[in-house]
């Protein structure tokens, strides 16, 4: 899921990571909004709010929205910085640190978030936006920009384009490519909504602690990769032993 990149990456790898990370993003999106009434998985709306405050000469309020944008950007930058540095040592482990850091940030938000909200609610937004910037950068790099999980605007645009193309591209390979891409986009959209439901329904009782589920899901994804890699290594060794006999 996290260990394959480039030509070694298959549609199933993209489908798996899309399901996991879009669910996490959907959960963060709803929990962030319910807790501090701010968007915490993308920055599109924050540009509008930033310009609105600037036009009113409320520069300090505008600066807060500018920081929202900046923290998402910083998360994206930091994530890819870790990936590029990691690729110089071990391609299979290059994506481990960004996922662990994202999980750590969500853990902080889940446990310390209620206290942070009381004094510095914007700080919680910065943490969540930074983590989602990291996630979006990571999955974009892994999938060669095929998968994006933190916002839906581009997904619905691409989905509309590909649905219309089904009427014009009739060759079997073209239809298969379009159906696969549509399936991937519908998976991201579906799991984003499911994550939102999973985060929103129990929020009145669990509050920010519901983000612990997102943390566990990220760690489960890493564990799945580690176990799968071990199994493949054992299978290859057994195959080599059988061939040597």
Q: What is the mean pLDDT of the chain?
A: 87
Picking from 185, 63, 189, 80, the residue whose alpha carbon sits closest to that of residue 126 is: 63
Q: What is the pLDDT of residues 11-54, one digit of tens each?
A: 888 888 889 999 999 999 999 999 998 888 888 888 777 788 88
Per-residue pLDDT at 82: 92
Q: What is the pLDDT of residue 92?
A: 67
Say if residues 27 and 213 touch (Cβ distance below 8 Å).
Answer: yes
Question: For position 242, what pLDDT does the model report?
Answer: 75
pLDDT of 22 reads 94
**C-alpha separations of 11 from 62, 94, 178, 181, 224 in Å:** 42, 20, 12, 9, 17
For residue 90, pLDDT over 80 is answered with: no
- Rounded to whole angstroms, the Cα distance separating 23 from 188 reads 8
Q: Which of 72, 34, 38, 25 is nearest to 190 (CA)?
A: 25
**Which domains are assigned to the chain?**
6-238 (1.20.1250)
What integer is the mean pLDDT of 154-166?
91
CA distances from 136 to 73, 79, 80 (A): 10, 9, 10
Q: What is the pTM of this model?
A: 0.89
């Amino acid at each position: 899921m996290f260990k394959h990149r480039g030509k070694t990456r298959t549609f199933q790898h993209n489908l798996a990571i899309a399901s996991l990370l879009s669910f996490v993003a959907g959960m963060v999106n709803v929990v962030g909004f319910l807790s501090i009434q701010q968007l915490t998985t993308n920055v599109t709306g924050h540009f509008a709010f930033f310009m609105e405050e600037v036009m009113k000469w409320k520069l300090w309020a505008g600066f807060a929205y500018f920081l929202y944008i900046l923290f998402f950007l910083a998360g994206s930058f930091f994530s890819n910085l870790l990936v590029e540095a990691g690729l110089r040592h071990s391609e299979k482990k290059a994506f481990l640190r960004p996922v662990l850091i994202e999980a750590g940030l969500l853990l902080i938000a889940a446990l310390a978030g209620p206290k942070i909200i009381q004094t510095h609610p914007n700080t919680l937004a910065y943490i969540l936006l930074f983590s989602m910037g990291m996630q979006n950068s990571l999955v974009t790099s892994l999938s060669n920009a095929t998968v994006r999980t933190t916002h839906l605007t581009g997904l619905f645009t691409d989905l509309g384009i590909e649905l219309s193309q089904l009427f014009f591209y009739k060759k079997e390979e073209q239809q298969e490519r379009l159906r696969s891409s549509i399936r991937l986009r519908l998976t991201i959209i579906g799991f984003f909504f499911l994550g939102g439901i999973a985060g929103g329904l129990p929020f009145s009782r669990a509050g920010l602690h519901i983000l612990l589920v997102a943390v566990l899901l990220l760690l489960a994804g890493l564990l799945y990769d580690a176990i799968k890699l071990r199994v493949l290594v054992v299978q290859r060794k057994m195959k080599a032993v059988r061939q040597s006999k």
